[in-house]
Amino acid sequence: MEELLRVEDLRVSYPGFELNNISFTCHKGEFIGVIGVNGAGKSTTIKAIMQMIARDGGDIYWKSEKVTEKRIATFRECIGYVGDNDCYYPNIKVEKILRFVSALYSNWDSETMEKYLSIFKLDTNKKMKELSTGMRVKLDLLMAMSHNAELYILDEPTSGLDPLVRKEVIDILYDLVNREGKTVILSSHITSDLEKTADRILYLVDGTVVVDNGVEQIRSDFAETLSKATEDVLLEDVLFHLMTR
């Protein structure tokens, strides 16, 4: 499999918290679920990968080339990022946001943007304060998917969404991987979101990766401890067990 992203010995220190030598590799076509309780380091890891916060150590590689300061802009062109970005003026219209964001990317695809505007039923004349939480997430997804990104990194995008909207978002991500051949890294504390989609799980505890394995292997190991058939074991149950043990 083609290597897209490699994270080596990533370290970030805050008062009372430390990200401890996070290392993993992401390959083309993978769907990686990043799990852990609040405060485990999921968001810090993602923000450090995106170079949104300073690192105390470690390196990020994109297609085997180190992401140096000079290459950050090029790296971000390849990533569809969705995170805690709710920093828009409440009275700004969706249309103006899209006009501004599209100018930031050399590979912006207006046809893709229009397609998702239609799918999501987003009214570009609405102001941000008029959008529901679900519509704001869809707007963020639309922007992430409108510049031909190869890898999507999403930091708890389904948190706070009602079940129907959450399912819609997860289905979109599933299609990105399985129909369009894209790659997704999704952090979530909602373990059921990963049941249908994830190929691999990264489990963080107190800033450390304690599990990095394929879903089927994790499920098989858990089934073995319970003396059950693998097909009887739900991934959601396994992940819940991991996060509560």
pLDDT of residue 112: 93
Please answer whether residues 208 and 202 qualify as being in contact, where contact means their C-beta atoms are separated by less than 8 angstroms.
no
Quote the DSSP letter at residue 93: B
Q: Could you give the CA distance from residue 220 to residue 212 in angstroms, rounded to a whole number? A: 14
C-alpha closest to that of 67 among 84, 89, 51: 51
DSSP SS3 for 43: helix
Please answer whether residues 201 and 57 qualify as being in contact, where contact means their C-beta atoms are separated by less than 8 angstroms.
no
pLDDT of residue 226: 81
DSSP SS3 for 123: coil
pLDDT of residue 20: 93
C-alpha closest to that of 185 among 32, 7, 19, 30: 32
pLDDT of residue 47: 95
C-alpha closest to that of 72 among 103, 51, 44, 54: 51
Q: pLDDT for 37-54, tens place per residue?
A: 888 999 999 999 999 999
Please list the ranges in the chain whose pLDDT falls under 70.
85-86
Q: How remote is the C-alpha of 8 from its chain's centroid?
A: 18
The residue assigned the tokens 């590689």 is 61
pLDDT of residue 86: 63
Q: pLDDT for 118-152, tens place per residue?
A: 988 999 999 999 998 888 888 999 999 999 899 99
